[in-house]
C-alpha cells in the first residue's frame, strides 16, 4: 500500500521534486524531470533490489530501505550542504 506523505509547506512539492531530480542526477542517475520518482527503479537495479512497477509485496523491508535510504540519504546530504552554505554566506 502506497502512502502519500504531505509536506508541511503548501506548494513545496515542486521544489522538493526538483531537488530530488537534481540530487539524483548528480549521483549519476538519469532522471526524467516529469517523473523523478521513477529514478527509484534505476537505483534498485544498481543495488540488486528486485523493485518493479506495481505490487512489490515480496520485497523485504531491508531491500525497500536500501532504495529509499540511497535516495533519501543523498537528498538529506544535499539539504545540509545547502543550509551550511546559506549560513556561511549570511551577512
How far, in Å, CA of 48 to CA of 57, rounded?
17
What secondary structure letter does DSSP report for 54?
S
The pLDDT of residue 7: 81
Cβ distance 59 to 41 under 8 Å?
Answer: no
The pTM of this model reads 0.75
Every domain of the chain and the residues it spans? 13-53+61-88
pLDDT digits (tens, 9 = 90+) for 45-60: 999 999 988 888 899 9
- Dihedral of the alpha carbons of 87, 76, 35, 31, in degrees to the nearest 10: 90
pLDDT digits (tens, 9 = 90+) for 58-91: 999 999 999 999 999 999 999 999 999 999 986 6
Q: Hey, how many other C-beta atoms are within 10 angstroms of the C-beta on 49? A: 21
**In which residue are the cell numbers 537534481 written?**
22
Amino acid at each position: 500500500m502506497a502512502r502519500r506523505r504531505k509536506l508541511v509547506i503548501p506548494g513545496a512539492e515542486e521544489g522538493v521534486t526538483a531537488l530530488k531530480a537534481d540530487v539524483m542526477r548528480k549521483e549519476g542517475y538519469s532522471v526524467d524531470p516529469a517523473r523523478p520518482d521513477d529514478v527509484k527503479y534505476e537505483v534498485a537495479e544498481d543495488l540488486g533490489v528486485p523493485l518493479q512497477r506495481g505490487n512489490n509485496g515480496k520485497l523485504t523491508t531491508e531491500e525497500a530501505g536500501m532504495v529509499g535510504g540511497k535516495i533519501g540519504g543523498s537528498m538529506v546530504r544535499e539539504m545540509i550542504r545547502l543550509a551550511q552554505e546559506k549560513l556561511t554566506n549570511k551577512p
